[in-house]
Amino acid sequence: MRLDPSRSIPSDPHRRFNPLTGEWVLVSAGRRQRPWLGRAEATAGRSRPEFDPGCYLCPGNARANGAVNPAYDATFVFDNDFAALHPSTDQWSIDDGLLRAASERGTCRVICFSPRHDLDLGHMDPADARRVVDVWATQSDELGRDHRWVQVFENRGELMGASNPHPHGQIWAATSIPREGSREDETQRRHLTLTGRPLLLDYARQESAGPRVIEETEAWLVVVPFWATWPFETLVVARQPTQRLSDLDGPRRDDLAGLLTRLVARYDDLFGIAFPYSMGWHQAPYVPGPADHWQLHAHFFPPLLRSTVRKFMVGYELLSEAQRDISAEDAAERLRRATARRSRERATAPAPEGAPA
């Protein structure tokens, strides 16, 4: 049976297939009605100064290892002082039956989005956000000369493990292609072999103007994916054949910068708080040969189910398969209704006590 976009998907418990990972997710929309909806996470006031003398990411301040940041006035990139991967790691391997291990070389860098301590992607001017996009692209190609996988990502908020509220992201480059990259490389390659078309371009065409779309421009689609696992997960897909961030021309980078500021503003408006998330770009691995099967895209994984209530991946989710408590269509509708306007007040005001969903 083909999916008719004019008809609602039944609300009964059902499973949805993720063609990017080859996995299924259980959708149980009725669980939101249960009496206990999860632990309420404490949300501190978010008023921040433009400059914090105690912040190790602000311009001119000393970092934990004693290095002093320059007086940067735009984006700033430096090698992570406590890197998870190192370019000078000795090469070795162990292969003893079921016990296998191998060394991994890599490089980890930090990207400060702005010199201002109080500005994140949702409150930047598009011109400033465009500089972040440019840095993502140039850093990716630079690191891709010596590494097979380059992962651009941002953890926003303490709930997602961000160690500092100064707006920043990271970029890790590894010698090996990790699990998620390998899965997506295999599924996209298989789809191109079977159909002659990139998987995510087919998906973008099928979703266009549909009930899960948050926003679409000539160059980009933002959608709560049909197979979303996290309550308000979104997927950002380039709508023209594109393998890596560096493939984007100027107009598409401008479009992306504006779109990202609007998407993060929508997240913040949804519950009236600075919405925590992990986001990251998946670009084609830096390996020889054509990469026509790969389509550039970004994942946003926010953990909140409603204001200050977190979705936990435990029990059945850990032991069996992912499960979500709100339909992708409902999540998309609520994000579409949220305002995409940047608001200084929304960025600095503390969340109201017991803010409604």
CATH number for the domain harbouring residue 325: 3.30.428.10
DSSP for 210-260? Answer: STTEEEE-SSEEEE--TT--STT-EEEEESS---SGGG--HHHHHHHHHHH
Domain boundaries, position 265 = 18-23+51-348
| Catalytic member of 147, 166, 168, 191 | 168
Estimate to the nearest angstrom the gap between the alpha carbon of 251 and the chain centroid.
22
Total domains in the fold of the chain: 1
In a domain, 13, yes or no: no
- Of the chain, the percentage scoring pLDDT greater than 70 comes to 89
In a domain, 308, yes or no: yes
Q: What is the pLDDT, as a whole number, of residue 189?
A: 98
168 given a catalytic annotation: yes
| Distances from the Cα of 92 to the Cα of 175, 230, 289, 293, angstroms | 13, 38, 27, 32
DSSP 105: B
Please, are residues 167 and 110 in contact by the beta-carbon 8 Å criterion? no
Report the 10 Å Cβ neighbour count for 38.
16
In a domain, 37, yes or no: no
- Compute the average pLDDT of residues 318-328: 95
Give the pLDDT confidence of 278-289 residue by residue, as tens digits: 999 999 999 999
In a domain, 156, yes or no: yes
In a domain, 267, yes or no: yes
- Compute the average pLDDT of residues 68-95: 97
* Listed range (34-38, 58-62, 69-73, 121-125) with the worst mean pLDDT: 34-38
136 vs 312, higher pLDDT: 136
DSSP for 15-41? Answer: EEEETTTTEEEEE-GGGGGSS---PBP
Three-state secondary-structure class, residue 121: helix
349 vs 115, higher pLDDT: 115
Give the pLDDT confidence of 104-137 residue by residue, as tens digits: 999 999 999 999 999 999 999 999 999 999 999 9
Verdict on whether the full-model pTM lies above 0.95: no
Residue 347: pLDDT band (50, 70, 90) is very low
Residue 8: pLDDT band (50, 70, 90) is confident
134 vs 39, higher pLDDT: 134
